[in-house]
Amino acid sequence: MFRAKHIDGDEMARIMVVDDTYFMRALIKAILKQAGHEVVAEARDGDEALKNYMIYKPDLVTMDITMYGMNGIDAVKAIISMDKTAKIIMISAMSQKSMVIGAIRNGAKHFIIKPVTVEKVVGVIDQVLGIKTKSSNGNDDFSGIKQSIEEMEKAIVEIDENGTK
């Protein structure tokens, strides 16, 4: 994976943003740019995401679950079938837990629950890319990552308890 370095030594990633709403794509792009990442492509649905993935070969993809045409879960399956090393983060509403788990079972690496915030997006992306974040005192700050993992575990338990696979 190609990852450039900023002048200050921080790592940046080449990212594709996939969402059917312009507002959400614009918001995520702004967060990514603020964090120093490069948005190399965007897509409005799964079909466009597949095409752009093959053209741009991004380091990471943020993928909405519910979209017109090919949805996020099917797009994850298709991208993973072409590139087993693809790093895809799902973005969904709280009511889509079972779909998030389905996407993770099909190869997505993590998820972000809407509403998106700078902290959520950057924390999850850094975790998936293996970029250590530093708090102001110089210690590794994994509090956001721990919370995301706990959210994922709770969602898995809740779905399994309800019998949904």
CATH code for position 151 = 3.40.50.2300
Does this model's pTM top 0.85? no
Residue 146, domain member (yes or no) = yes
pLDDT tens across 102-129, in order? 888 999 999 998 889 999 999 999 999 9
How confident is the model over 147-154, as a mean pLDDT?
56
Residue 51, domain member (yes or no) = yes
Residue 116, domain member (yes or no) = yes
Q: Where are the beta strands (DSSP E) in 6-156?
A: 14-18, 38-43, 60-64, 88-92, 110-113
Number of domains within the chain: 1
Boundaries of domain holding 156:
14-161
Residue 2, domain member (yes or no) = no
d(CA 59, CA 165): 29
How confident is the model over 32-46, as a mean pLDDT?
95
**pLDDT for position 8:** 40
Query: What secondary structure letter does DSSP report for 93?
Result: -
Query: What tokens does 33 get?
Result: 């740019």
**pLDDT for position 46:** 96
How many other C-beta atoms are found inside a 10 Å radius of the C-beta of residue 158?
13
